[in-house]
Amino acid sequence: MTGQPAPTGTPPGAREADRLVSFLLPHRDARGRVVRLGPALEQVLAAHAYPTPIRNLLADALVLTALMGTLRKEEHSQFTLQAQTEGGVVELLVCDYRDGALRGYVRHDPSRVDDLGPSPSLSALFGKGYLAITFDLATSGERYQGVVPLEGASLAEACERYFAQSEQVPTVIRLGRGMVDGHIYAGGLLVQHMPPVGESKLGEAPQAPPEPGADWQHVAIMSGSIRPGELSDPALPLTQVLWRLFHEEREVRVLDEEALTRGCRCTAEYYRSVLAKFPEDERVAMRNDDGIIAVDCAFCSKIFEIDL
Ligand SMILES: [Zn+2]
């Protein structure tokens, strides 16, 4: 869709989720994405019995993974968001995105979750930690990684800092979460200043970062005005979210709409092929008393018993 996204008539009861819309504001040198997760998010959460603060954290992290993972469009490339601490209630958070599929899990100390309260701060969850953003490019085999301290009020704020510090790209990120008829929905908006020549890609800092001017300030204020409920409400189409924010702009160019799913690469065949690469003596050492190697997928909370 080119031009101003006009509000479209939505059939009553229609819900938009597990979709991402990427867009450009060509007259403001800005680009962005808006995303909403629903059933795919529920599927990720269903593999685990996480308490509410951990579920909410993982929901936010998956939305961020969708927003950031789609910044670099290349088939089979993988984006990974990893937050890690020593001594935090959350020890490890891992989410990744590849070819439209999202997955994630959290390793935490259940005995300390009750101390957190319903909406814990980033430091309450992680203590002193680090956020690692990694892009593994399929065609070139290159890996880009940026690491920033887990600082700020939220995971979204830590990601904004990642863009500011590692890529020198001014970025606004907003997230929202809500329940509708007992189902969880989580949405997000990412808008960033775009270098005037070409598109800055995640992992590639522009050679000479341009100073963002009044145009960017305007976009940042408009983007920051979105309400969390607008992002999470499945009755509100994503193009309507853009319309509400940017209807006074000369042009909002919708670039792409993408369906998102919950996906994992774990299969018995996959693990068999991985284990086959180990030397025989190491495989023998991995076997249990029944001669079986147990491999577990932390994303799916599933154990595969491999009999080689
Ligand atoms: Zn799995």
User: What confidence tens digit (pLDDT) does each residue in 92-104 have?
Assistant: 999 999 999 999 9
Rounded to the nearest whole angstrom, what is the distance from the C-alpha of residue 47 to the centroid of ligand 1? 10
Tokens for 96?
Answer: 């990744």
Question: In the predicted model, is pLDDT for residue 3 greater than 50?
Answer: no
The residues facing 84 across adjacent strands are 92, 130
Place of tokens 């193009």: 239
The residues facing 147 across adjacent strands are 132
Cβ–Cβ under 8 Å, residues 202 and 68: yes
The whole-number pLDDT of residue 139 equals 86
Dihedral angle computed from the Cα positions of residues 1, 76, 268 and 40, in that order, rounded to the nearest 10 degrees: -30
Rounded to the nearest whole angstrom, what is the distance from the C-alpha of residue 93 to the centroid of ligand 1? 15
Q: Calculate mean pLDDT across residues 32-52.
A: 96
Where do the domains of the chain lie? 19-262, 268-306
Average pLDDT, the chain: 90
Rounded to the nearest whole angstrom, what is the distance from the C-alpha of residue 305 to the centroid of ligand 1? 13
Confidence of residue 76 (pLDDT cuts 50, 70, 90): confident
The whole-number pLDDT of residue 12 equals 57
Rounded to the nearest whole angstrom, what is the distance from the C-alpha of residue 298 to the centroid of ligand 1? 7
CATH of 19-262, picked from 3.40.50.150, 3.90.1010.10, 3.90.180.10, 3.55.30.10, is 3.55.30.10
Q: Calculate mean pLDDT across residues 46-51.
A: 95
Rounded to the nearest whole angstrom, what is the distance from the C-alpha of residue 63 to the centroid of ligand 1? 19
Rounded to the nearest whole angstrom, what is the distance from the C-alpha of residue 251 to the centroid of ligand 1? 42
Cβ–Cβ under 8 Å, residues 97 and 88: no
Rounded to the nearest whole angstrom, what is the distance from the C-alpha of residue 262 to the centroid of ligand 1? 10
Note the helical H segments in the chain. Answer: 39-46, 52-69, 122-126, 155-162, 214-224, 228-232, 238-246, 268-275, 280-286
Rounded to the nearest whole angstrom, what is the distance from the C-alpha of residue 41 to the centroid of ligand 1? 15
User: What confidence tens digit (pLDDT) does each residue in 238-266 have?
Assistant: 999 999 999 999 999 999 999 999 999 89
The whole-number pLDDT of residue 11 equals 55
Rounded to the nearest whole angstrom, what is the distance from the C-alpha of residue 104 to the centroid of ligand 1? 9
The residues facing 21 across adjacent strands are 34, 257
How far is the C-alpha of 157 from the C-alpha of 161, rounded, in Å? 6
Cβ–Cβ under 8 Å, residues 144 and 202: yes
Question: Which has more pLDDT, 231 or 85?
Answer: 231
The whole-number pLDDT of residue 75 equals 84
Question: In the predicted model, is pLDDT for residue 149 greater than 50?
Answer: yes
